[in-house]
Amino acid sequence: MIRSGNRLTLLENGAQYFPALIAAFDAARHEIHLESYIFSADATARAVAAALTRAARRGVVTRLLLDGFGSRAVAAELIADLRGAGVDVLFYRPRQGFPRPRRARLRRMHRKLAVVDGAVAFVGGINVIDDHVGRNLAAPRQDFAVQVRGPLVADIHAAVQRLWRLVKWSRIGFRRDREDWVRAATGAAGEQRAEFLTRDTLHRRRAIEHAYLKAIGHAHEEILIANAYFLPGRRFRQALARAARRGVRVVLVMQGYSDHRLYHAASRALYRFFLENGMEVYEYHASELHAKAAVVDGHWATVGSSNIDPFSLLLAREANLVTHDAEFASTLRGRILAARDQGAHRIQRLAWRDIPWHFRLASWLAYGLVRGLMGLAGYAGAYEGGGPRQRIAGRRTPRP
């Protein structure tokens, strides 16, 4: 649901996000919820942990929910210290013993959310890890988050409460303990319109994807997407192709320096489709591109945790903020384009045709492997969106 009266602040990278997050924790008086896919043990993560510890020791109800796979390497002593200080720590689907090949184990909690006193919230794609921790990163990891004040905080607050209850009840045999919850603030804090979207496997299976497809379908001028793991299914690809054919400028900024080489190679198998349908393709090489953001026609924008790939769109619990505000969209657009201009290079159509055949073969093999893995998990049809090869604007389009 779209809420009016919000104040949204765009935060770029950990340099802006973590100071704002820690300041909110230090100002907390009643309750903190923090969800993260990854919680590292580096200096940045320990600074966040210290803020949670300070809050818990002064009597703030402090809850930390981590994913059992993404945070599997978190230091045991760090978790012990948090719990010893009074922080309530839970793991979503924790790993127990030798992993069995069950489809449910692929369903992860990929959200990055925080809510403080029901009054301020953070939504984005930034994990609790230092921007420079990675494979020899020469520059900070590129990512975004949004600080939210206003009526939308109530929706975010309800979402983190709901998942906390679900995970907690699953640990204690679904016994429903009575708990006192902070009531979220609902008063206006600004003039910006936004909505909070989550993705799960029950009631909101395609909410984020449908929001993208609706915005793309109504685009008239420009679609700008910066996405770390961009491996869209057929329905999404064809929506972009139709937009490009009706004269919309489609700009895709993707990883050139990736921490997941299989996905990176698989996404390159789609470059020919994008280029031959008139889209602009850029690879970001300055560092890791971890953003999951988009701007359409200068007034619709989204920032969140959801990639455009089968993991995010079909398996993981995700959360995105969608704004309908020209000022915010303009700011986000400027930040994405600045990152593109400073750290990315454009993939040219003719040059891509001339790359060595074995390079193209490796990309296709990687793409086939990803599709095969989705098939084994039972999600291949849902990922591709079904249907035979389509024609765009009267001509046959390449089918990746």
Q: What residues are labeled active site? A: 110, 112, 117, 290, 292, 297
Q: Rounded distance, CA 271 to CA 283, Å?
A: 11
Q: Quote the strand ranges of 13-126, DSSP E.
A: 31-36, 61-67, 88-92, 113-116, 120-124
**Helices 13-27 and 43-57 sit at what angle, rounded to 10 degrees?**
10
Q: Which of 251, 236, 341 is nearest to 293 (CA)?
A: 251
Tally of CA atoms within 13 A in the half-sphere of 259 that contains its CB: 13
**Helices 76-84 and 43-57 sit at what angle, rounded to 10 degrees?**
20
Q: Which of 37, 41, 44 is nearest to 292 (CA)?
A: 37
Written as six digits, the tokens of 170 are 């699953």
Residues 6 or more apart in contact with residue 46 via CB below 8 angstroms: 78
Written as six digits, the tokens of 357 are 């055949």
